[in-house]
Structure 1
């Protein structure tokens, strides 16, 4: 493995061959020699969190929606939160941001922000390194606000803009370049 990418963002290259990940931004939650686990951050759904997990709905602000976290186990729900006490996290990913324990109900941890994801993205050993070598992904340092943006569907553009230079220009390329 070239490097551990836990806590980093993977920004899909415009040339990524897999339509499942076109224009996605993935937070790498865990990356080690056994593979990698990530959550797609920029695909909100219309499903309200309260309709899916009413027991922990108090962790979420307003009419929070579930996001499509990736193609693996879409029936599972992962919750990411910014914990007031980081010791409450099942796994810390970035500062006070981490994964909510699956056994939280009826006790809900104190959090400042939370987001729910249906499914996740997964990579077998060395698979992510191979995809990075093929330039399928750009690695960008994650910021806690990336995980909780109200306009999460624009995160792909914002992450490329943040990289600057030629990457910022990529952010303006239309999904279908033939309409340019």
Structure 2
């Protein structure tokens, strides 16, 4: 796994304008079924576009130990000896773009300068197989999720979608990003900004 350089200091938006390190919450009126009830952590946002990882939709087909075997990080016989943190790593459907590509969102206690991207003081992104090897050995980050695929927006696209009431924005929450209660993350994210889903649905229905 690897990822191209997502952004540089020169092409990032002004901090007051960038949504990097925040979360997007899909509105009930979201017209794209791929993003229905999605909560997305924004990993990069600049004048050139945006990239994020959906954090509330678990993969039903792939388990982390199986992925380690598939990528030849460990052998089949080693799966029973994986440390508990590795067994418990959540595999998410990160978005519709490049779904064969893996991205690990994690706490910053694991960081490789050449391949890790610090998104905030609490969250980093790594997309090389080295982090998988570290997790398999029990030497990885304290908190992590692996996402297959990502959500991407071209220049100005995300801003237009927000203006058209496709998304709400929300401060990042480590619990929403890392815990396994995926079925409650959408409502919890809305609650974090004081929005009641039932009232929001009614208001949108009257629009």
TM-score range relative to shorter protein: 0.7 to 0.9
TM value normalised by structure 2: 0.73
Seen in structure 2, the aligned counterparts of structure 1 residues 107 and 149 have a Cα distance that, compared at 3 Å, is closer
Partner of residue 119, structure 1: 149
* 8 A contact 1:23–1:156 mirrored in 2: yes
The alignment status of 1:154 with 2:184, answered yes or no, reads yes
Partner of residue 27, structure 2: 13
Partner of residue 120, structure 2: 94
Q: Which has the higher strand share?
A: 1
Partner of 1:146, secondary structure, is helix
Partner of 2:143, secondary structure, is strand
Aligned partners of 1:86, 1:105: CA distance in 2, in Å? 9
Partner of residue 168, structure 1: 196
- Alpha-carbon RMSD across the aligned residues, in angstroms, is 2.7
Mark the runs of 5 or more structure 1 residues left unpaired by the alignment. Answer: none
Aligned partners of 1:138, 1:79: CA distance in 2, in Å? 24
Seen in structure 2, the aligned counterparts of structure 1 residues 60 and 37 have a Cα distance that, compared at 3 Å, is farther
Partner of residue 140, structure 1: 170
* 8 A contact 2:108–2:141 mirrored in 1: yes
Choose 26-35 or 45-54, whichever is displaced more: 45-54
Seen in structure 2, the aligned counterparts of structure 1 residues 171 and 122 have a Cα distance that, compared at 3 Å, is farther
How many residue pairs end up in the alignment?
173
* 8 A contact 1:83–1:110 mirrored in 2: no
Seen in structure 2, the aligned counterparts of structure 1 residues 106 and 78 have a Cα distance that, compared at 3 Å, is closer
- How far 1:110 sits from its partner (Å)? 3.4
| Residues 71-86 of structure 1 mapped to structure 2, 5 A cutoff | 71-86=96-111
Aligned partners of 2:158, 2:150: CA distance in 1, in Å? 14
Partner of 1:42, secondary structure, is coil
Paired residue for 1:45, among 59, 72, 80? 59
Aligned partners of 2:168, 2:127: CA distance in 1, in Å? 29
Mark the runs of 5 or more structure 2 residues left unpaired by the alignment. Answer: 1-12, 75-81
Greater Rg over alpha carbons, structure? 2
Aligned partners of 1:140, 1:79: CA distance in 2, in Å? 21
- How far 1:147 sits from its partner (Å)? 1.0
